[in-house]
Each structure stands twice: as structure tokens, then as C-alpha cells.
Chains A and B, each alone.
Chain A
Amino acid sequence: MDITQDAVVSLALPYRETLKINRTSFIGGGGPRVAVIAGIHGDELEGLYVCHRLAAWLEQLAETHPHALRGRVDLIPALNPLGIDTLERFVPVFDADLNRNFPGDPEGLLPQRIAAGAIAALSGSALVIDIHASNIFLREIPQVRINQDFAATLVPLAEGMNLDLIWLHGAVTVLEATIAHSLNSRGTPCLVVEMGVGMRITPAFTEQLLVGILNAWQRLGVLAPDLPLDAITHSPLLADDTNVHYLNAETSGLFLPTIDHWMAVRHGDLLGTIVSPQHGGTLSEVRSPVDGVLFTLREYPAVYEGSLMARIMATR
């Protein structure tokens, strides 16, 4: 196994420095090539830690089973390194959501050059996993989000990923500018994983996803079929636009959840309250509209009227 590091994009900055999008590659035999990418949004760190854990696992594999890597693994932990440097979700200076700039343009603005470089580096992979960590407001159970246009290819891949939820969503024009849509529409399967919360790391979710990724790679022939792996322990529920319920704040204030994330809830159960820091009363009680499981829960306490507090998948 060879381990190499290079840059898939290298761009001069205005004063002296160079922006590099770094890639670590683990190169085994002539089997399929797969990739894990993260850090498209600079405030989402969960995927960076997944890349660290995968690198540690692969480095260990190089010592213990150097021939078990039959294909090639590319890790691109930060597609928006300037965002990570500046604690910003978007590409700084350009105020651009990198994940609305695909497929990009090698002669365009910086975000489009990054996008074009990423597409060039990833096209032709047997599987790309794009790890997101929600945002600073919402905590997500480990899940994969799939545009229904690509469901036939992606759902079978996602089912064995040790995740808790598969969310099939309708086609939205503006989402055609995401990296996942760009890769999938070019015939490179790309799964979007959402888990955890922005600006934090949730190690338990990382270990859960790690098992799913390694098992997926083994099924694809990237890892030797006889290599022992931890078994899959989670099987996903299937959510779609018909059974997902959104709970938006009916007034502004501080949201205090009264239940835990990823709990079964019943119609009418109290999920939390909205209170005012200016008096002792309760402004709003948040109750479940259905029987189901709560898979999104607000982490950031302040809410504005309309702020999302929870998502529940109805189970009947």
C-alpha cells in the first residue's frame, strides 16, 4: 500500500500565500477507487474527524494487512479550507456557498475553480461519500439524503452504511448546483451523509459511520472480502417528503428541549418549550404533531419566529 499526499487545487492568494485543497491517497491494488470528502462548509467539522479516523484505520491496515486494500481510497477532508481558517460556513471573501457552485468552472471565480478541481479529482470513483454536519443550529442523527432522481442507484448503496435514516427528497432546481448532484448526474455515485452538529465533533456518530463506510468499501471490492470488519448494527428508516414533519417556532425566544434526540414520540408529547428571558412564563409549548421518531433537534437555543426546532418522521 502506498500513502501519498498532493493538492487537487492550488490557487494563488492576493498576498504571497497559496490555497491548496489537500488529498491523502491510500493506493493498494487495481480495484475500485473510492473517496470521502468533507468540509465543503467551513463550520462543519464532523467529516474532518471521520477522515482522521479513516486515515488512522488505513495506516493501521498498511502495517497489519498491507494487501487487503484492493483498490484506492482518496480522502479530501476540507474542500473549503479558508472557511475552516476563518470559522465561516461559506467561502470567505466570496460569501459563496461552495455547495451551490458545482460543477464549477476552471476559469471562473475561486469557489468555481475549487468546484471544478474537485469534480475532476472525483469523477469516475466507484463511490464518493460527502460528509456534512448540519449547521450550528440543528443536530442530526446519522443519515443519508438522496435526491429521488438517483434513488435507484443510491438507496441500495446507502442501506448498508450503518446509518439510522435514509431521507429521499424531491428534485429542487437550486440543489442541482451541489457536488452530489453534479457527480451523480455524471455517473459517479455520491452519497450525502448528514450527522451531528456544526462546530462540534460527535465521536459516537463517527464510529458508527466508520463501520458503515468500511463495509460499503468491502462490498465494492475496495477491501479484501476476507478482511474481518466490525458488523453493521444500524439499519435505516426510510423518510420522504410525505412522512417528515417540520416543527417551526411559533414565536421568538429561547428553545429548551424536554426530550432527547432520536427518541420515539407520540402525538401530543411535549418536546420542548419556548421561554422569554424577560419573564417567567412559557411563550410556547412544542408538541409532536404525529407518532414518530425525532431525528432533527435544535441545538442552538435562541429562536426567531419560524426557526426550525425539530423534524419528526411519522412512523404510522
Chain B
Amino acid sequence: MKTPTLLEMTAPLREDFVIPYHDFGPRTAPPRLALVAGIHGNELNGIFVLSRLAEYLQRIADGTQPAQQLTHRIVIVPAVNVLGVNTRTRRWPFDKTDINRMFPGYDLGETTQRIANAVFQATRPAHYRIDVHSSNLDFEEVPQVRLYEPSEDESASAMLFGLPAVIERTTDTAFTTTLGHAWRTCGGENFVIQAGRAGDLQLPHCERLFRALMAFLHHTGLVTGIELAAEDQDTHYFGLDQTLPLVSEHAGLFVTHVQVGAWLQAGALIGQVYDGFSGERRAEVRAPVSGLLSGIRRQPLLYEGDLIARLQTRVRLDGQRRTVRGQEQ
């Protein structure tokens, strides 16, 4: 069967531009689940995992996995920003706009508004909607579910992935034009997943994310007959006041040896800041409280005010900084 496409448009010189997607299960009903990745062309973990998931669902559809059954329709868009993937570009390469700042889109508008509209229209009929991201070039995230002003159903369903962290966040005005925000205006259950770091493919994060999506398919009954591998570690739910960003007050070179997903004791060393000219150590960065290291800076060059790490705490934090707004979604 011909590969379905979300959008077809002309290009100035190369072949016509299309966004292909996968469509599994009975076409008579609207999709129950929509999975999207690669809105940013340099976020490769989600692209890889969704393509591998599509390969698995194709085997079920072909009947070569007789123990498993697909009960509902599922659509998968491994990469929205196709030209961005091929040119290693986060944004839409031609006019440098960020597709995830163009939702809900407009079918008669600018190129990226048309792309956004096509993605939104294809995914809004689904009940469960998942947008997979991989932070940015500078920061690595432990695979996690992000919830924005969630419904009770969303908070409950987010735990089904079995990822190390489910993290609640507030909606910033800058994020009101994202796909995740557009989805929330039309009901259903919506999840933004962050996994790893842009510009790279981190196999352990991909494997964890793949298991998470399999667990979600199993627990929601979208695919029956899945035998989950050994249970992953506990999933923890962190409310709005259980995130502590660690911000650098020094510019310089940041060096670290820690790994995301580790539980740190209060006082544990996270990294050091050096002066790149004199070589002198400017600061030590230590965990001020105990918690799960959900994200760590991977870019050594450090400006004043840069985010170094994020800790998720078991206890609620009062009166501490809770947000550092970057370009990660």
C-alpha cells in the first residue's frame, strides 16, 4: 500500500516535499493514539524510537506476530520536520521558524503554519496524543513525561509508561503555540515526552522509551498479548513544587561526570566550573537537597544564569526557583 502523507507541497528545486506517516489498525474509526516526533529536526531519539515502534506494529499488522493483536487505530509521525532532519536543523531550514511555535497552524498561511495545521488535523481525532522531544543540543533529559495543567486521567495515564519521572509544569506564554498546547484545547489525554539530548542518539534512552511505549500500549489495551520485559524501576510523580533547577552564577567551563536518572544525596557533587583562561576552579556545583537528577547540562561553555541540572525532589520545595525557561520543547 502507498505510504500515507500528512502534507504534500512543492519545493523550489528538489523533489516535492512530503511528510509521510504510518497508519495502523482499522481505518473505519478515528485513531485512538497519535504519536509524533521530529518536530525539531535534530531530536533523533524520538524519530528512532517511533520508527522502530512502527516496524513492530507493521509486523503485527502483517500477521507475523500472531500472539499480539492491534485493537485500535494508531497513527505515527516519526518526523514532522523532514527537511530539518536531512539538514540537521532544529527549525524549518528555509525561513528558520520553529514549527513548534506555529500551532494550531493555518492551511492558507506560511509554510510552517501549513505544516503545523496538517500535523494538528491528523492527530486531533485521537484520544491519546504523545509528542516526543529530546531537549536541545545543550541539555540531556532522563526519559520523562511532562504534564501541563493535567486532568486526573492524564495524571493517572502518565504513570502507565513506567518512565523514571512524571513531571508537572505550568504553561508559559511562550509555549501557547506548541502542538502539546493545541492538543489540550481539544480534550483527550496529552503527553509531552522528553528523552535525552538533541543532535545525538542515546541508545539506553531509546530502549527505555521503547519499553515505555510498549507498556503504554499494553496497559491501555491498544495492543493485546504483549509480554512486558522485567519491570522498570519505580515511576515517580513530581508536582509543580518538586522541581529544583540549579542555575550557574558563574560563566566558564562546566565539567561533570554524573548521569541522568541517578538519585543524589544532599551535598553530592554534580560538577565544577573552571575559568577557561586561568584554569582556576570557580565553583563546585552540589545538590542542595536530595533528589532524582532528571536533567544535566552537556554543553561545557557556561554563561551566567545557565541551567546546570534539574533535581526532582521527594519533598515539596517552598519559595525556591521552579522554572528556567529555555528552548527545549
Query: Which A residues have a C-beta under 8 Å from some C-beta of B?
Result: 11-16, 89, 93-96, 100-101, 107-110, 112-113, 137, 173-174, 176-177, 246, 248, 251-254, 277-278, 302-308
Q: Out of B13, B111, B252, which one reaches A278, CB within 8 Å?
A: B13
Question: Whole-angstrom distance from the CB of B11 to the nearest CB of chain A?
Answer: 5
Of A12, A107, A253, A254, which is within 8 A of B247 by CB? Answer: A107
B96 within 8 A of A: yes
A-B CB pair tally, cutoff 8 Å: 108
Beyond A15-B301, A96-B327, A110-B303, 15 additional contacts (C-beta under 8 Å) are A13-B251, A14-B276, A14-B301, A16-B276, A95-B90, A109-B305, A110-B305, A173-B176, A176-B173, A252-B10, A303-B12, A305-B111, A305-B114, A306-B110, A306-B112
Query: Considering the complex of A and B, which 7 residue pairs feature the smallest CB-CB distances, nearest first?
Result: A306-B111, A12-B251, A252-B10, A305-B9, A14-B301, A304-B111, A252-B12
Known contacts A12-B304, A14-B303, A108-B305: A304-B173 contact under CB 8 Å: no
Binary A-proximity of B214-246 (CB < 8 A = 1, otherwise 0): 000000000000000000000000000000000
Complex interface: chain A residues within 8 A of B114 (CB) = 305-306
Chain B residues within CB distance 8 Å of chain A: 9-13, 90, 94-96, 101, 108-114, 136, 173-174, 176-177, 247, 250-253, 276-277, 301-307, 321, 324-327
- With A304-B94, A307-B95 known as contacts, the answer to whether A277 contacts B13 (CB < 8 A) is yes
Closest to A301 in B: B12
Q: Give A52 to B222 CA distance when docked, in angstroms.
A: 65
User: Are B173 and A177 in touch, CB under 8 angstroms?
Assistant: yes
Closest to B83 in A: A304
In the complex, chain B residues whose CB is within 8 Å of the CB of A252: 9-12
Cβ distance B2 to chain A, nearest Cβ, rounded Å:
21
Contacts A14-B253, A109-B306, A173-B173 known; A306 to B301 CB distance under 8 Å? no
In the complex, chain A residues whose CB is within 8 Å of the CB of B108? 248
- Could you tell me if A304 and B305 are in contact, using CB atoms closer than 8 angstroms? no
* Complex contact B305–A113 (CB within 8 A): yes
- A108, B174: Cβ atoms under 8 Å? no
Q: How far is the CB of B227 from chain A (nearest CB, A)?
A: 43
On whether the beta carbons of A109 and B276 are closer than 8 Å, the reply is no
B111, closest chain A residue (CB): A306
